[in-house]
Chains A and B, each alone.
Chain A
Amino acid sequence: MIRFAYIIIGTAVLLLWFPQSGGPSGIASVPTVGERFPPPDFESGYELPSPTTPAPRQSVYEYVDTVVLFAALALSSYLVLRTRSRRAILALCVFSLFYFGFWRKGCVCPIGAIQNIALSIFDRDYAVPIAVMLFFLLPLVFTLFFGRTFCAAVCPLGAIQDLVVLRPVSVPEWLESGLRLFAYVYLAAAVMFAATGSAFIICRYDPFISFFHLSGSLNMLILGACFLFVGIFIGRPYCRFVCPYGVILRQLSRISKWQVAITPDECIKCRLCEDSCPFGAIRAPTADWPAYDYNKSKKRLAFLILLLPVLVLSCGWIGSRLRPVTSRVHATVRLADQIYLEETGQAEETTDASAAFRATGKEIKVLYAEVEDIQAGFGLGGWLSGGFVGLVIALKLIGLSCRRRRTDYEADRAGCLACGRCFEYCPKEHAKLKEAKQAIGES
């Protein structure tokens, strides 16, 4: 039921946003120039050179990237579910890191594509390139079938973190869930800022992109280094606590057709795999419910279900109240603020932006009207994204008070990143391998 609601709300938030107009139209215009000094008529037979125009990377390569993505996803799924070889998964991981990361410079990636999709839904003028749409959709479809095999070995951000997991410590469940809330907030904010045409914050604060570019601002390099350093001890911190695409994949992975199994056979509850997962995604068998707890839990569950609308509304209200802060991410709102300060004499010096605006000769009233539209968008966006976060909190609480019976050691459907580290911890796996080897030896 919980995943049901999660997904419905997720799609609702994606789909129900009202259409936003504005933004630059992408069509090339050829401006003409007024001449102060008429171009000379040369007598010496001088020929006008023309400016060079080096072409961008050819569009065909976008399709090559998509094909490589598809192949990598297929291979990753095969390696995780059939071959069950950690070494092969690791090799694919390194390939993805070099191809999608260092060679393709990390752009466009499915995580960032969330924003292109959101923008194209809400901005009439922006059409999403087909390659970007495929980058967004392919991993989602693969996750519906095979679990998070994209996270396992295709995502370059995951790959770079996976390679530094050296001394993993376990994070307590309450802390893990609490920190993960950030990823949902991040997703809601990213969709809101993209839909209002303000900014692509996922790209702006991508901690690893400066490694892929081999250059970047000092702050982002430090942030990336911090993530990698923390990643030595806490496996894949970005994937678990920040990645907005990861939380979508989590929900889809819950209902995937096939899933990673720790053991290739029946679980014998030997507990050997218990601590093998650096991401805390292995769930132990549950004990029986103590009888006295039962009634209390029922009451708590009823209370939490009643709390759900309250949480959704209050978080939505908070989201909409944050409008003055969030809307300032939009450049036009910042510009209008500056113009207002200048007009009322509170700011003495003009900024580049306000000077540029005044040079266009546009009326200030028009600008203010534009900003009102944008702010209305942020008001609704605040309600929706706040409501979404409230719903996530409420459903998490409800999920905590529902218990399911588990008899075996299992990979958590949502949290498992399909890295394959647990395979070799299972004695049944070794038995299988031995059998297979013998079979090869005999033939």
Chain B
Amino acid sequence: MAENKNGINRRHFLRDGLWAACLTGLGGTAGFLSKKTNAQNTVWQIDPEICVACGNCATYCVQEESAVKCVHAYAVCGYCRICFGFFGPEPHDINEGAENQLCPTGAIKRTFVEDPYYQYTIDEPLCMGCGKCVKGCNTFGNGSLFLQVRHDRCLNCNECSIAAACPSGAFKRVPADKPYLLKRVDRA
């Protein structure tokens, strides 16, 4: 190896050159990506229009109690006396008895408002995000019940395991300042 008096040899020269090239490369990558960066972080959310309420949300979340829960858009609700999100198929009676309910955990509360309207409220700590009520409400009702990722519970994993198991591709990354895709009705 040719060594000169300054103590610079070929190996050192190559190493320094390569070092500078790598640093430039990293800078270049940063520059290239900065065109496509988002100042904001993203969070996971379910598009209720695509969701088929398959029930995977209840089981695939990395947390034991899923971060996905049912949300009720009251403005969309018909306040029906007989709600297909609340009552199981062929209920014994039209009242709040446990045997009549569709929800496996009894997470929907039915309260009387005025004749003939009833309000349905999700008791969130009880809801496990199975989507049974969502399916019922979408099939026969207005579709005011839908599943959403609750961000007070979501760990925002880099790869969401529910998203990986979602059969309809309803899970998407949304900007953190618009973290919910809520159903709404446009009224004139």
Contact = CB atoms under 8 A, between A and B. Distances in A.
B114 A133 contact: no
A56 B164 contact: no
A346 interface: no
A296 B168 CA distance: 61
The B interface is mostly helix, strand or loop, or mixed, namely loop
A77 interface: no
B22 interface: yes
Contacts of B6: none
A107 B155 contact: yes
Given A31-B183, A37-B80, A137 B30 contact: yes
B112 to A, nearest CB: 10
A26 B174 contact: yes
A283 B80 CA distance: 77
A150 B21 CA distance: 21
Contact of A35 (B48, B64, B185): B185
Interface in B19-40: 19, 21-23, 25-26, 29-30, 32-34, 36-40
A129 interface: yes
A430 interface: no
B160 to A, nearest CB: 9
A39 B79 contact: yes
Given A127-B36, A128-B33, A53 B180 contact: yes
A422 to B, nearest CB: 23
Contacts of B77: 39
B11 to A, nearest CB: 9
Given A28-B174, A204-B164, A331-B169, A130 B37 contact: yes
Contacts of B175: 26-28
Interface residues of A, number: 84
A106 to B, nearest CB: 9
Q: In which size bucket is the chain B interface?
A: 35 or more
A14 B33 CA distance: 12
Contacts of B29: 14, 117, 137
A344 interface: no
A121 interface: yes
Contacts of A292: none
A29 interface: yes
A40 B78 contact: yes
B155 A7 contact: no
A267 B168 CA distance: 63
B158 A116 contact: yes
Given A33-B183, A129-B38, A356-B168, A44 B113 contact: yes
Interface in A303-358: 331, 351-353, 355-357
B174 A36 contact: no
B76 to A, nearest CB: 5
Contact of A108 (B62, B113, B158): B158
A256 B159 CA distance: 32
Contact of A210 (B39, B47, B62, B74): B62
B150 A4 contact: no
A323 to B, nearest CB: 21
Contacts of B54: 352, 356
Contacts of B186: 32
Nearest to A113: B158
Given A30-B182, A35-B185, A115-B158, A56 B43 contact: yes
Nearest to B25: A11
Nearest to A338: B167
Contacts of B161: 204, 217
Interface in A21-62: 24-40, 42-44, 46, 48-51, 53-57, 59, 62
A26 B36 CA distance: 13
A440 interface: no
A257 interface: yes
B74 A56 contact: no
Given A53-B180, A213-B63, A120 B79 contact: no
Given A27-B175, A56-B156, A141-B23, A120 B36 contact: yes
Given A252-B22, A353-B168, A26 B158 contact: no
Given A39-B79, A144-B19, A204-B159, 5 more contacts: A31-B183, A46-B113, A59-B177, A126-B173, A133-B37
Interface of B: 14-15, 18-19, 21-23, 25-26, 29-30, 32-34, 36-43, 45, 47-50, 52, 54, 56, 62-64, 71-80, 113-114, 117, 119, 121, 140-144, 150-152, 154-159, 161, 164, 167-169, 172-186
